[in-house]
Amino acid sequence: MTSPRLVSLLLLCAGAIACHGSIEQPVPGGNDSGGEDDPAPPASSVPIPPAPERFSCDTNAVPVDLPLPRLSRTQLGNSLRFAVARALPSEADAIWAKVAPTFARYPTDQRTPAPGDLKGGYSRLDQSIQQAQIDAMYDLGQAVAQELTGSNARRNTLLGSCASDGQTANDRACLETFIRGWGSRVLRHPLPAAEVTAFADIAGSTPVDRGAVADVITALLNSPWFLYRIEHGTEASQPASPLSAFELASRLSYQFWQAPPDDELWAAAVNGSLLTEAGFAAQLNRMLQGPQLRSSLDEFVSEWLRLEELPSLVALQNDPVYQAFVGEEMPTDAARTAMFEDVQLSAWQTIVSGGSVSNFLHDRRSYTGDHYLASIYGVPVWSGSGPAPVIPSQNRSGLLTRAALLATGTASTRPIHKGYMVRNALLCQQVGAPPPNASDRPPSPTTDMTTRQAVTQLTSGGSCGACHNQIINPPGFVLEGFDALGRERRVERLYDSRGHVTNTPPVDTVAEVRVYDSERRAVSNAAELTQMIDDSQLFESCIALQYFRFSHARVESTSRDGCLLSEMETAARSGAPMADMLKTLANHPTFKQRSFQ
């Protein structure tokens, strides 16, 4: 559930609000049409010139790496599944089903907005360490260990015939072989003799006893080498040290697949080819072309675009106004999930088809097998293979008009919410926080007042008017051509409390949108807004910044990270495949080294 503090952003401002960012400062008391002396804005057919590039490179600046990156909850779960599958591949699914309830107790990472952002953020940025995590991880280690050693047959599969040959002289060597093999893959680096000895000593005088082996496995799964990405580099005495082959393999794998290195990547680390230019390029291309990339991309898109903020579509199913608004068929939460997947698949299909960032913004194909969402788009359901159907309406301009970004779970649209999303998530522009006394109730239509009229009435006056009228509200008003389920509309149906229609006024989608500095245009529909955003290239710069935060699990320093950010921005703006932006990140020298400054 969205917190009142976050909800208040979307609502009426009753006091001063500070507007800042890369758009021109609004004039206090301004209105939708600008000041009285302002000339009329150009029509949307006059392209917005590209905004200046956001980032610049200082070659003397050295980025600061996270001191000890903790695996995210998703990465930890994938690492545990990898450990189980590596130990007992034929029983991996059954074992994971047994330990999944224990994993469910592991705390969820909290999404952390960047400074100045009122919403959004990435769960990877949560690098906190809690006692609850430590306790849950110990229980997880024990649960996995007990399952892996739950029978003599399982123990024998782990250790080999030496565990059951009736001899005791070879038991210690048997256990050490298991630790060097399975343990090295689980901890993601070849274990030196001293570490093998230390782990084997945990078993005491009964190295192949099932309980003793379980204790060793528990210790391995609670090792810092398992829970964190530990990087010493190869020249630790230097301010920035090249990563070892195994450190680089882990960084690549967790970045793009959210999991430990697979056999091929591990082999490239073992033979050293990963440290060559050709070897690294081969592995990077393989990872960017592999289906495992989708998990990471889905998480990025979902958190960047704040998809989970969409409430349940059935919570108000007994409300007469919501019932009347929805019509004959009530949506289900399966439709809500399909809305998320539709956006995620758009990004994925852009990557695999070689499309650009601009192509992603403009993508008008429907990627859903859900009949309810398909009916909203006016297309047949997609089978999941072959070309996805193109949405016929020209006003379905792509990302901005996907149902996940338009639906609200209520009978009312949320122009303020959508306006802030455009500003902050898609353009990376900051808007000041609402005052403490801001209302926690969103403006809603009445029996004789449209949503736009209600929002304008409640936000256009006083010190709030400047920000709302010139920055927040206009993009949201342009999107009023879609209702609170994402359906296109020309009129807005107004209801009384019993769900009876009281009026059907036409929807007004015309607004003056100020994109950056003094660049503003009169916009009348979502397609024009999308084109204006694309022409400015602020969306391309923004996605580069957002992907940097996601991949690095931290907020950028525009000075110290400027070189990488500048290259990613250039790749995103160039019209090259969107995958090139991801590739730029991995090919940058900072990806292959560890900073100790």
As a whole-number percent, the residues of the chain with pLDDT over 70 amount to 92
Task: Give tens-digit pLDDT for 62-83.
Answer: 888 998 999 999 999 999 999 9
- Three-state SS letters, 251-300: HHHHHHCCCCCCHHHHHHHHCCHHHCHHHHHHHHHHHHHCCCHHHHHHHH
Question: Per-residue confidence at 38, pLDDT binned at 50, 70, 90?
Answer: low
pLDDT for position 442: 82
Q: In whole numbers, what is the pLDDT of the chain averaged over residues?
A: 92
Mean pLDDT of 302-310: 96
pLDDT for position 20: 42
Q: Could you tell me how far CA 507 lies from the centroid of its own chain?
A: 33
- Does the pLDDT of residue 385 top 70, yes or no? yes
Burial of 237 (0-12, 13-18, 19+ CB in 10 A): exposed
| Strands 593-595, 519-523: pairing kind | unpaired
Rounded Cα distance between 480 and 500, Å, is 21
Task: Give tens-digit pLDDT for 494-551.
Answer: 999 999 999 999 999 999 999 999 999 999 999 999 999 999 999 999 999 999 999 9
Token pair of 317 as six digits = 């199913």
Task: Give tens-digit pLDDT for 235-264.
Answer: 867 778 999 999 999 999 999 999 999 999
Regarding predicted confidence, which is higher, 28 or 92? Answer: 92
- Does the pLDDT of residue 14 top 50, yes or no? no
pLDDT for position 340: 98
pTM over 0.85: yes
- The angle subtended at Cα 591 by Cα 588 and Cα 592, nearest 5°, is 100
pLDDT for position 9: 41
pLDDT for position 235: 84
- Does the pLDDT of residue 316 top 50, yes or no? yes
pLDDT for position 30: 35
Give the residue extent of every domain in the chain.
73-227, 244-295
| Strands 519-523, 511-516: pairing kind | antiparallel
As a whole-number percent, the residues of the chain with pLDDT over 90 amount to 84
Rounded Cα distance between 92 and 332, Å, is 33
Task: Give residues with Cβ within 8 angstroms of 506, minimum separation 6.
Answer: 490, 491, 492
- Does the pLDDT of residue 24 top 90, yes or no? no
- Does the pLDDT of residue 7 top 60, yes or no? no
- In b/e form, how buried is each residue of 203-229, taking b as 16+ CB within 10 angstroms? beeebbbbebbbbbbbbbbbbebbbbb
pLDDT for position 6: 35
